[in-house]
Structure 1
Amino acid sequence: MMRLHVLGIGSVGTLLAHHLRLANPNTPISLVFRNAAAFSKKRFRKDGVNRPTLKVTRTEGDTLMTDGFDVDVAMSGKLPALVEAAEQDGMDFVNAGGPIDSLIVCTKTQATAEAIEGLHSRLSSSSVITLLQNGMGVYDELCAKFWPDPVTRPNFVLGTTTHGIAPAGETGSVLHMSPPGQGAIKWGVVPDPRKQIDFETWLWGRPVGDLPTLTPPESPSLPLRTPPDGPGTENLHATLEALLSITPLSPTLLPMPTLYNELLIKLALNAAINPLTAVLGGGYLQNGSLSRSAPGHRLVQQVTKESSQVLTAYMHNLFAPHPAPADTVRLFSYESLLHRVQSVITATKGNTSSMANDVKNGRMTEIDYINGHLASLGHRLGVQTPVNRMLVQMVKFKAEVGGLGGTVYPRVRQTVREAEEEALEARRLSLEERKVSLQERAMLLKEERTAEAKRAKREWKRTVRRNAAVARNLRAAEVEAAIRGGADPTEVLRATEAEASEASGSGNSEWTSASSDEGEGSSRRR
């Protein structure tokens, strides 16, 4: 059974390897690191599992973990160190060395050539190399550097993705930000370097290279057709079936001309968003910030306009001496590209681009393969690209400054941290003040209720006293009248005292009942 090797366990590599394992539980998969020090049991051995474990969390909160991976390294000279480290830690998942049938490359573009150099001796014309990266130009660079002779060249598959992915702290753990049903991966097979087999006729059962690029045929369904005889076709067949098996990521296989257009569009989108977020805000700027002000919008417009000029000229040159198809030209028009750029900014407004993160941490960026690629293409076509050339130098400068300890970016980071801490402290104080205010209000209400109860009691006593005085006067008159009428004075006085006592008791019970009701009402109000 063919083994898959995944080179580059960053955000994209983690997501892809995770879904390859889910879709192909019995396929051997090796995670390829640069050297033996690029992994350790603290970072990859989780919960006692003696193999690397990958974790993908959706923004909805669902988390899935996969294991069962082997480990390999790109630097062949580091193999002894890897084996020794594995033996010391009791690891049993090393599968290093030997030929590579299928290599899936998810590293940053600027690190690809160096990584492939360490694997070059293990790759052959029967191997398959899949590139899933930002930017363009890596394929041409690898062919020129390692396989200038097409006869010895491996087969290549190129890909592009619209899935939103971000690191989630530890290595091998990512946050998948695209909602279910959104985001896609598009693949395309580079034509046979030996010109012996028409890959697209094999895959679709008919020639599709001349079909309009804007209306491509449907992606071939699994299982794929039996491959024709030829160098590496069995490995290419197995690789494509694996790449198309990851259905949660919505994979499709496109004819190479259509896929190439998708790569160029992604290049224009990255060229407008990534460098601007990298050079503005010290690497902390989110994508959505570019559309929140008129100056930011104008910067996006300038970059997009220049990219459109380069890509439109490229399309005309590509189809010369025949005119370029009108629908293809419209695809790379300024209006079309600007609409796409604005849509991406809106959809990813809360994201920070990978280039911004690289600049913030003083790392090398992919700028040479994005804006630098556009500038080089413009130079070959005679199109001036001052905006893209300036952005290339600005990003490189920012990255270099970010990598100089104790200079600009440490101060920026410190300022941002202080601002965040001040905001949190202000929020805490505001909550404390609100709590105190509510407590003071409750105490004031209690005091007002108590004062009101006291006023009511005083008024009640005054009323009782007035009523008692009136009653006494009435009783005195009644007693006097009764005595004059011949009644026994003793009996009259006894009866009068009994009535007065009953009236006094009734008044006290009424007050007690009223006070109780007031207390219950206060309790309910509290």
Structure 2
Amino acid sequence: MRIHVAGLGAVGSFVAFHLRRTLHPKHSVFALHRRESAPTVSQVANGRPILLESDGVVQSQDGIEHVTYSLPRERPHNDLNAHLDPLGQPPADYQVALDRHHDNHELTRVYGGIESLIVTTKAYAVPRVIAGLRGHLSRNSTIVLLHNGMGMYEKLVDSFFPDPFDRPNFILATNTHGLWRKDVMHSVQTAFGEIQLGIVPDPHGRDYEASVRNSRNVPSWQPLSLDDIANVSVVDGVSPRYLTLRNTISALTSARALGATWRPYYDVQTAMRRKLVVNCYVNPLSALLQCKNGDIMRAGPSYWILEHLCKEAERVFRAQLEAEVEDMRQAYDQLPEEEKATRRPPRLPPFTRALSYVSLSKEVKRVVELTKDNYSSMYWDMKLGQPTEIKYLNGYLLKLAHKYGVKSSVNDILYGLTQMRTAIPFVGKPS
């Protein structure tokens, strides 16, 4: 199989490192680089290795193949200073030397369609990545979205894949490993976590969770079955669409150091919401204060902000659940009477404790303590004058609050202050 990784920052390098280390050499792992950030070509025979550092020990992994692709042009961000151009030539330390001398090594020239694409870029960059690679994606491709924030899957579907029968497979993922980028393709792991993978329900009707859903008294830790995706023992062969999906899940979960598990879609959505709240608190505050994660909670007001933010998030998630159940009730009411007789009317399930404000607050404190010596990604974005992911963090929560008529004053203020701070350049200390 061929796996392409787009976004070779801390997370992307970490994923590519362990995939290449685990998979058989017959499987290829490609690092995708924008042509804007990879203008030169190296004479390194075996390609540029990826470095992973932990506790001061640096490991090197080669065998990664480097290819380039082009992004479509985009208008400058409205929430950036006029003199900042996110598409301009990047600093020299962001330029990546590719692995073939005097060869553009472009994706279109060297390789065919994309089977598995793992996207680990910043949230705001994901649509442009998909736009740049659209010609290499098909309904048989599998796209793994491994980025901060929520709402991106819906945005991609609306923009690029409105036809469900021509849509690639999508896997939504959340990562809790502590990682930061030290240099080009050099990641540092500061805390060990996990990656949860959830497959978006199949528009063609295949039930990826059938073995668990159709069994009684199945424990919560019961693993899902790859055969529900594609049974490779079938003599007549397997559809390429489901084979690439199965292979992607198998590859990621086989790389033990990634800590990747395939979980029911609902569980992953819950985990993503929990991480969303963590990021809605840590990222804007660390960026606004220009401090490490652990410094945020040194002052008393930070606990007041945390409590109110988590309460707002719980109210939003409760309203969202109620609205979803109401939609199902209305759909049920429209069914013919004979079909209603064979189904139970939708009921509001108990609200999961994992999304209660108490549980959310504990999770934020846990992550802050675990990453107390780290600088958040938004801290660096703001410090370097780059666009932030605020629209997919606090902005996403704000949209949900407005949609369901929930007040979210603290979250709205954090969102507004971050946009203001991004628009106003930092001024140095007076001489």
TM-score tier by shorter-chain length is: 0.7 to 0.9
Q: d(CA) in 2 for partners of 1:131 and 1:22?
A: 21
Match of 2:220 among 205, 212, 215: 215
Residue 368 of structure 1 deviates from its aligned partner by: 0.6
- Residue deviations 1:430-480, cap 9 Å, x none? xxxxxxxxxxxxxxxxxxxxxxxxxxxxxxxxxxxxxxxxxxxxxxxxxxx
Structure with the larger strand share: 2
Letter in 2 for 1:7: A
Contact 2:309-2:408 within 8 A present in 1 as well: no
- Residue deviations 1:324-348, cap 9 Å, x none? 433x332211111111111111111
Q: 1:314 to 1:52 in 2, by over 3 A?
A: same
Match of 1:117 among 101, 122, 131: 131
- Residue deviations 1:78-111, cap 9 Å, x none? 9xxxxxx979835697654531111110011100
Contact 1:165-1:174 within 8 A present in 2 as well: yes
2:296 corresponding residue in structure 1: 290
Q: d(CA) in 2 for partners of 1:264 and 1:35?
A: 34
Residue 17 of structure 1 deviates from its aligned partner by: 0.3
Q: d(CA) in 2 for partners of 1:210 and 1:132?
A: 32
1:319 corresponding residue in structure 2: 325
Letter in 1 for 2:311: K
1:62 corresponding residue in structure 2: 57
Q: 1:314 to 1:370 in 2, by over 3 A?
A: same
Q: d(CA) in 1 for partners of 2:277 and 2:64?
A: 35
3-state SS, counterpart of residue 158 of structure 1: strand
2:174 corresponding residue in structure 1: 160
Aligned length: 383
- Structure 2 counterparts to residues 322-337 of structure 1, below 5 A: 322-326=346-350, 328-337=351-360
Contact 2:66-2:98 within 8 A present in 1 as well: no
Letter in 1 for 2:180: A
Letter in 1 for 2:204: R
Letter in 2 for 1:226: N
**Is 1:347 matched with 2:360?**
no
1:23 corresponding residue in structure 2: 22
- Residue deviations 1:54-97, cap 9 Å, x none? 10000x2221111112222231789xxxxxx9798356976545
**Is 1:372 matched with 2:367?**
no
Match of 1:72 among 67, 70, 94: 67
Contact 1:216-1:258 within 8 A present in 2 as well: no
2:33 corresponding residue in structure 1: 33
Letter in 2 for 1:360: K
2:77 corresponding residue in structure 1: none
Q: d(CA) in 2 for partners of 1:163 and 1:332?
A: 21
3-state SS, counterpart of residue 213 of structure 2: coil
Rg comparison, structure with higher value:
1
Q: d(CA) in 1 for partners of 2:121 and 2:7?
A: 4
Contact 1:362-1:400 within 8 A present in 2 as well: no
- Residue deviations 1:134-160, cap 9 Å, x none? 100110000000010101100011111
Letter in 2 for 1:342: K
3-state SS, counterpart of residue 56 of structure 1: strand
Q: d(CA) in 2 for partners of 1:309 and 1:294?
A: 24
Q: 1:335 to 1:87 in 2, by over 3 A?
A: closer
- Structure 2 counterparts to residues 43-62 of structure 1, below 5 A: 48-58=44-54, 60-62=55-57
Letter in 2 for 1:192: D
Letter in 2 for 1:65: S
- Structure 2 counterparts to residues 219-230 of structure 1, below 5 A: 220=225, 226-227=231-232, 229-230=238-239
Letter in 2 for 1:336: S
Match of 1:175 among 188, 203, 209: 188
- Structure 2 counterparts to residues 45-444 of structure 1, below 5 A: 48-58=44-54, 60-75=55-70, 89-90=101-102, 96-97=108-109, 98-168=112-182, 170-178=183-191, 182-195=192-205, 197-201=206-210, 205-207=211-213, 215-218=220-223, 220=225, 226-227=231-232, 229-230=238-239, 232-280=241-289, 283=290, 285-320=291-326, 321=329, 322-326=346-350, 328-402=351-425, 408-409=426-427, 411=428
Q: d(CA) in 2 for partners of 1:334 and 1:263?
A: 15
Q: 1:162 to 1:37 in 2, by over 3 A?
A: closer
Residue 217 of structure 1 deviates from its aligned partner by: 2.7
Letter in 2 for 1:172: M
Letter in 2 for 1:215: S
Contact 2:196-2:268 within 8 A present in 1 as well: yes
Q: d(CA) in 2 for partners of 1:12 and 1:334?
A: 28
Letter in 2 for 1:199: Y
Contact 1:158-1:187 within 8 A present in 2 as well: yes
3-state SS, counterpart of residue 232 of structure 1: helix
Q: TM-score, normalised by structure 2?
A: 0.81
Q: d(CA) in 2 for partners of 1:335 and 1:88?
A: 54
Contact 1:155-1:190 within 8 A present in 2 as well: yes
Residue 207 of structure 1 deviates from its aligned partner by: 2.5
3-state SS, counterpart of residue 172 of structure 2: strand
Contact 2:35-2:69 within 8 A present in 1 as well: yes
Letter in 2 for 1:157: I
Structure 1 gap ranges (5+): 79-84, 403-407, 419-526
3-state SS, counterpart of residue 21 of structure 1: helix
Contact 1:70-1:95 within 8 A present in 2 as well: no
Q: d(CA) in 2 for partners of 1:207 and 1:319?
A: 19
Q: d(CA) in 2 for partners of 1:69 and 1:286?
A: 33
Contact 2:150-2:396 within 8 A present in 1 as well: yes
Q: d(CA) in 2 for partners of 1:210 and 1:382?
A: 38
Residue 318 of structure 1 deviates from its aligned partner by: 2.8
Residue 209 of structure 1 deviates from its aligned partner by: 10
Contact 2:68-2:106 within 8 A present in 1 as well: no
Residue 41 of structure 1 deviates from its aligned partner by: 5.1
3-state SS, counterpart of residue 193 of structure 2: coil
Higher relative contact order (CA 8 A, sep 6+): 2
Structure with the larger helix share: 1
3-state SS, counterpart of residue 191 of structure 1: coil
